Structure 1
Amino acid sequence: MTERNETTIAIDAMGGDHGPKVTIAGAALALERRPDTRFMLFGDETAMREALADYPALQAASSLHHCEVSVRMEDKPSQALRQGRHKSSMWRAIDAVKTGEADVAVSAGNTGALMAMAKFCLRTMAEIERPAIAAIWPTLRGQSIVLDVGATIGADAQQLIDFSMMGGAMARVLFGLERPTVGLLNIGVEEVKGQDEIREAGRLLKETPIERIDYHGFVEGDDLGKGTVDVVVTEGFTGNIALKTAEGTAKQIAAYLKAAMTRTWLAKLGYILAKSAFDRLRDKMDPRKVNGGVFLGLNGIVIKSHGGTDAEGFAAAIDLADAMARHDLMNKIAADLESFHRRLSAETKDQSESTQT
């Protein structure tokens, strides 16, 4: 799998709960892992220079761009778009992708505002009606991709197929798979179950196979953790609930384990003896390792980091952005879309001609 030698990443340095304190430190960690990365940092120049003082290597690899406005976490998308357009650190980071100055933008800011600005600035790709947010999901097999996890509510059959192609392209980039498996999230694996849109999407995926993915069929909620398929496709309302439920369950299990291991002296001794195993479990359940939602379906790549993450988590989002840019995610999605719609158009034409004769 070929990759580009160097990437430029635009950072909304003011985004998230902690601003430059975390975003700058995260960029510094990411630079240590990929020294050939370059950064465009957008935000309050004084605050950014203060945070950069501890990271001379990052300072040398970055250009600073002062912005007068920062989008607040509580701002409504319409308010942020109206007040922060052309001026905010979030908008200017996205615009750097549009102008070609940067390969990808990363922000830990307000999700709704980020999606609204990204859609307005970058626009959706040809043949794509709605963008999607794709998340990396830890599984028993390793990792899967789940989309949409909250970009929009609801999706028709064609939009679910578009999500399948975009998710498949991301899996090829991220996991190095030639033909990732794709499943549609449903209330059962039987073809007669589920909403009309899901059943229709399943029918079309079987009748008009996509060249670079293997359609598995319907998957259920427990298949998410099993890693039954490489890509799980659903609409944004269901996907967001699944994501928040999984995050809450992980925290719940961690709290249970902590309470159990500190309840008695015998339990504390058992924890000490099994500490390496618990450390591996903690590492596996660490949400920072899979931080970063990819906005797919736009004419440019935007990564959304969790707003409350720390430097390690923000660095993981930058790592993800770097991988998407280096392995040319945009062109892979565009090629898959063009191929599918060309074949679909040809089949529709053939069916029309056979009906006429």
Structure 2
Amino acid sequence: MITDRVYNWCKQSDTVTSELAKDPSQCPWKIFKDLYETHDHTPHPKRSVDCVSASSDELSSTQEKDQLQKALSCGNWGSSVPSELFLQVYHGAIGSLEKGPSSGVVSPPLLGSTGVVPLTIVAPLPDLCRHLANCIARAKHEVFLGTNFWVHSDASTLVTNAIRELSKRAGQRGEKIVMKMVYDRGNPRQAWENRLRVPEDQYSVGKVRLPAAEEIPHVDLQVINFHRPIFGTFHAKFSVIDRRIALLQSSNIQDNDNLEMLSHIEGPIVDSFYDAALLSWGKPLDPPLPLLNSPAIHAPIPCHEARSPDLSLANGTEIFPEHSTSSSYYDVSLAQEAKRVNSGVYLRGEESPTQAVTRYLSM
């Protein structure tokens, strides 16, 4: 059930992001506690069948409709109309906040939103990192990257090369990019402090090998190692680029032979990912992210501004060189990225579609 406590949290106008925009020197987690825990005097509901413990199939038809309507009013759907199945899932998600508002790892008013997914990648891990690299290289203001495991590898090199490219482009524009990164590499000190700032002399060597400051003079890179001992792994794998694009992926940044998945997400829901990124970072932002006062909900959706009706290969046969650790080819749009990747699986000679895909996967 959605209790009055949870409903009130979801209907608040203030979020961690909006409060940080007023004063970027604050700590995101302290803001969260102040907004949703410290001043909450709503009495806990009684644990009874007609309250928290009641599931949808235990409710009468009228009660269930009332609950789904309550769930509908808890989200920000714009002109969209969520389906009944979606609302049932969403109802379960926001109901879990009764156990603690931090369960959603985002400010409750941002737990339900809307957006578009112009690109989904189901491919070996390097293809996911190629898209991440392109998005990083195209950034104009800021980058947040969160991953569970980061290991120096071909996969990580695709990303670190993109950070170097980002610095080069920012320098040409006379600008500086703010980049925050969170990973989880267990450290005994995390028994006392879960979020450890990682100094450059540690993140630029060994098994991490992120670019040193002298390699990226136009990117202000900061790194946090986040872990809650013993089993509190930071398992998230997502990035937010310029508060306009969110990338949600299944893979860590390391070499493996897995088939992985990435969803490229745009629109108002990016503000939810942004809020989650701030809570993942957890510490005061120094320097602050430049777009704290520029929510995605009030901005044009990037893929709607740069529509490309033709994703087919030029002349049906043109082969584009692959973006790799040794040869970088950064594309200017999703359409160009798609052309480059699709050209790798174009049928050659007497190949069957299966043989073309097998050839690409074996490269």
TM-score (norm 2): 0.31
Name the structure with the higher helix share: 1
> Under a length normalisation based on structure 1, what TM-score does the superposition of the two structures give?
0.31
